[in-house]
Amino acid sequence: MAAAPSPSVPACGDLPAAVSAFADAFVDFAVSGIFFPTSSSSAAAAAAKSSPPPAPTAPTTFLPSPSRLVAIGDLHGDLPKSLSALRLAGLVPASTGPDSPSAATSWAAGPTLAVQLGDILDRGGDEIRLLYLLRRLALSAEARGGALLPILGNHEVMNVSGDFRFATPQGLQEFSAWAGWYRAGLAIKRRCGEHLDRQPRNPFLGVPKSFPGVKPEFWDGMRSRLAALRPDGPIARRFLADLPTVLVVGDSVFVHGGLLEANVEYGLERINAEVSEWIRGEGGENARAPEYVRGRDAVVWLRRFSDGFDCDCQKLEGVLGMIPGAKRMVMGHTIQTVGINAVCGAQAVRVDVGLSKGCGNGLPEVLEINGGGSEVRVITTPPSEAWMYRKQDAEKAAATVKEKRGEVKDGLALLVRESHGLKEVEAQA
């Protein structure tokens, strides 16, 4: 007969919140090497146990001008190059090593507000680690009076839609590794499962195990990626659902692709809220992305103001005139082989320098806006460091731009048939 447990030894029923928190911290560190701050207060833990989860809030759409505003373009799964851009902007300590994201989680820019223009995903192997880094750095910024606000790009929309054409083998390996640690975390939580108020959900249920047209060696990565990033998937809900699609800071409008009059008439806050609801899975796990983030003229796909130097400036002026106080539109999405630049009397500012090694290996540059919008400048990599990045000749630059537009297939696109729309992978209900 088993001996009765000592009253001094806590039973599992006394520890569900602690076990769940430990499992989450364990997975976070195993996946990213980063710890997130947690509340050690027993009162807070008890309150969390007895209260329903807080209702999600809509992403931020409008913010006042800060004393210093910084914009960083597309990152595309390249952690070392992203850290270079963060250091260049002065957002993290200058001594941060290129391969140590945990050392870059301390905000060094005081009240600076930094906007990252989306396309964190695809084309590289550090996608999840980048999402973790940016979120942890955003928490540090908030604690120090600053802010780091990524917005959604077309590659985030593609991945939530199950379109993995531009995922790389290294990226799939990263998601496979995440899935292994996430399953370990679920197993830990289930040790006290009957005592947990909110049972852990298995995101892998209903996800296909095979993907015709894709080499079997990539199937586990595809399955893990789909489970993580589909609407209401753990990575999508945690790191993408609260990101704005459009952000207006003072007199600057930030959007990955661009805005047209119809988008402003529909409502920027409405766009942000509805895209957020879709990513959270409120329309179902296989819901189609909202129309204004799909197609050539969608806010995350538009190139009318970022492609070349002969833009429709009259159209742009009309769009900005519909947004009170707006003087410029800051965009990513289209690689600028000459570096950050502006057209239309500086009303269109383009900041995608093709930073990632998987997308041009461009020289890191960031945009800085001071004086409430009156002072705009480009911060570029100093000559003493510029030698580390290969220079693009005209042929390479042209190929890179074509590849970015989708005219040249890359990554898993070589294994997936051509589609004019988003190729979406459905999970079984």
| Cα–Cα nearest to 319, from 290, 340, 299 | 299
Selecting among 155, 195, 256, 333, the annotated active-site residue is 155
Q: Identify whether the C-beta of residue 226 lies closer than 8 Å to the C-beta of residue 207.
A: yes
Backbone angles phi, psi at 71, to 5 degrees: -125, 135
| Cα 332 to Cα 340: distance, rounded to the nearest angstrom | 10
Q: What is the DSSP letter of 236?
A: I
| Cα 247 to Cα 27: distance, rounded to the nearest angstrom | 31
Is 195 noted as a catalytic residue in this protein? no
Q: What is the DSSP letter of 55?
A: P
| Cα 94 to Cα 87: distance, rounded to the nearest angstrom | 6
| Cα 273 to Cα 267: distance, rounded to the nearest angstrom | 10
Distance of CA 382 to the CA centre of its chain: 27
Residues 6+ apart with CB under 8 A from 81: 75, 355, 356, 357, 361, 364
Tokens of 29: 């560190």
Q: How many residues does the chain have?
A: 429
Q: CA Rg, the chain, in Å? A: 22
Residues with catalytic annotation?
155
